Amino acid sequence: MISLLEKKIIFRYLKPKKKENFLNVISIFSFIGISLGVAVLIIVMSVMNGFRSELINKIVGFNAHAVIKPYENKVLLNNNILKNLKNFSNNIVISNNSEGIVLNKDYTKGILIRGYTNEDFKKLDISKNDFKGNKNLYRKHISIGRELSSILNVNIGDKIVIMSPYGINTIVGSLPKQEAFIVDSIFHSGLIEYDQNVVFINILDLESLFNLNKRDRFIEIYLKKPEKISSAKKELMKLFPNDFVYTWSDLNNSLFSALKIERNVMFIILSLIIIVAAFNIISGLTILVKNKTKDIAILKSIGVQNKSIKKIFFLIGIIIGLSATMFGVIIGITFSLYIEEIRILISNLFNISIFPEEIYFFSKMPSEINIPSIILISIISTIITSVVSLYPAIKASNLDPVKSLKYE
């Protein structure tokens, strides 16, 4: 418990006199430093969390959550397997893919071609959001990304040619297969890499153009809870022991591992800002102890115990640290909530491009406030300020009142 005397002394020392302006400056800089450190840490963590979540949503929304590919024999789907799959999956579609070249006038580009039946194509998330044109996938028709349509300068109703590496024998020799397709729809996945490099055609056209067999077809599974991909993969490996099972997490493992490492490194680096700012508290409290040597000696002379002296100076440091942390949390959360508006404002004021879409894949800066992260940052900041407040508090409690008043 804090006594009334201790409270009065604490609040009195928190308001330095005019002749102690230097001490006041140190306290202000300590407060600002810790507040900025906490705020910057929250903002960076929020942006990185938002970036990761948006990236997962884009990737998961565009790709199957899990894929079952045959090694040699065709993937079997019996009633028992279908019944088990329904426990944790929403959609099951049959697919196939290959790589080819798209031709249009003087432009050629390598692309990934994904084949679906008309019914399965309608089940894909790609045909639900920001989608223009026909949601069917008829024979000799194609669905392309917005970026690819811009590169090829084609629109809905135009024709493009797909070339296969597989040849056909003619009187003049072997020539690569190629077929013309009508652009039936244009999608926008939100990821430029996909919009530039992926197209959809009917699975029968794909197999005909690339000499694929029906036994080469694989199964795409869309889960009810794609974030629980690890447990779902274990279940799928039990259901398909003779087939190759991989997930969206496996395909992007290096990317998300790099993001996780970067996030942890940024957390450590930015935590140093709080530590550096907290050392100002040591300086401020040490100077305060030096200036209040006479007051401490008088307090001890009238019977105030060492633990009370220690508590007074320790709580002064804690109050500065806690108030700075709370202020930093408010700034950090506010900034994170309106970060896109702030980005637009800065871009317009200085005529610069912040967070360009062609580099970061997103049209706006993502932000996701994570309450556990904010609590962790607040706890770390409080612990740091508590630790640095101990030394001057102990030094104040160990002052000898006789030596302190000897020359008074």
Question: Cα separations (Å) of 29 from 35, 80, 347?
Answer: 10, 68, 30
Token reading at 349: 């004021």
Of the candidates 211, 202, 204, 205, the one whose C-alpha atom is nearest the C-alpha of residue 169 is 211
Residue at a domain's end among 172, 200, 223 = 223
Is the pLDDT at 404 greater than 60, yes or no?
no
Q: Is residue 240, in this structure, part of any structural domain at all?
A: no
Q: Is residue 238, in this structure, part of any structural domain at all?
A: no
Beta-strand (E) ranges in 171-242? Answer: 173-187, 198-202, 218-223
Q: Is residue 63, in this structure, part of any structural domain at all?
A: no
Q: Is residue 372, in this structure, part of any structural domain at all?
A: yes
**Do residues 266 and 399 share a domain?**
yes
- Pairwise CA distance, residues 349 & 45, whole Å: 26
Token reading at 54: 């948006």
- Pairwise CA distance, residues 137 & 131, whole Å: 13
- Pairwise CA distance, residues 99 & 288, whole Å: 73
- The pLDDT value given to residue 128: 60
**Do residues 283 and 379 share a domain?**
yes
**Do residues 215 and 294 share a domain?**
no
**Do residues 30 and 102 share a domain?**
no
Token reading at 230: 């690890």
**Do residues 328 and 186 share a domain?**
no
Range of the domain at 274: 4-56+255-405
Strands 107-116 and 141-145, bridge-based pairing: unpaired
**Do residues 260 and 391 share a domain?**
yes
- The pLDDT value given to residue 173: 59
Q: Within a 13 Å sphere around the CA of 138, how many CA atoms are in the beta-carbon half?
A: 9
Phi first, then psi, for residue 248 (nearest 5°) are -60, -30
- The pLDDT value given to residue 171: 62
Q: Which residue has the tokens 């009238």?
A: 302
Is the pLDDT at 17 greater than 90, yes or no?
no
The tens digit of pLDDT for each residue in 222-274 reads: 888 877 788 888 888 888 888 888 888 787 777 777 777 877 888 888 788 78
**Do residues 215 and 349 share a domain?**
no
Q: Is residue 62, in this structure, part of any structural domain at all?
A: no
Query: Would you call 12 helix, strand, or coil by DSSP?
Result: helix
Residue at a domain's end among 223, 242, 270 = 223
Of the candidates 123, 16, 132, the one whose C-alpha atom is nearest the C-alpha of residue 61 is 123
User: What is the CA 99 to chain-centroid distance, rounded?
Assistant: 31
Contact 206, 137 (CB under 8 A): no
Q: Can you give the pTM of this predicted structure? A: 0.68
**Do residues 288 and 209 share a domain?**
no
**Do residues 161 and 267 share a domain?**
no
Q: Is residue 235, in this structure, part of any structural domain at all?
A: no
- Pairwise CA distance, residues 348 & 332, whole Å: 22
**Do residues 262 and 207 share a domain?**
no
Please state the domain count of the chain.
2
Question: What average pLDDT does the segment 304-321 reach?
Answer: 81
Q: Compute how many other C-beta atoms are within 10 angstroms of the C-beta atom of residue 57.
A: 14
**Do residues 172 and 126 share a domain?**
yes
The tens digit of pLDDT for each residue in 347-396 reads: 788 777 766 665 555 667 788 888 988 898 888 888 888 888 888 788 77
**Do residues 96 and 187 share a domain?**
yes
Q: Within a 13 Å sphere around the CA of 140, how many CA atoms are in the beta-carbon half?
A: 5
Q: Is residue 290, in this structure, part of any structural domain at all?
A: yes
User: What is the CA 29 to chain-centroid distance, rounded?
Assistant: 32
The per-residue DSSP string of 66-95 comes to EEEEESSSPPP--HHHHHHHTTTEEEEEEE
Residue at a domain's end among 223, 244, 275 = 223
Q: Which residues is 180 bridged to in the sheet?
A: 161
> Which of the residue ranges 1-10, 63-72, 110-119 would you say has the lowest mean pLDDT?
1-10
Q: Model confidence at 22, in pLDDT bands (50, 70, 90)? A: low
Q: Is residue 236, in this structure, part of any structural domain at all?
A: no
Amino acid at site 77: L
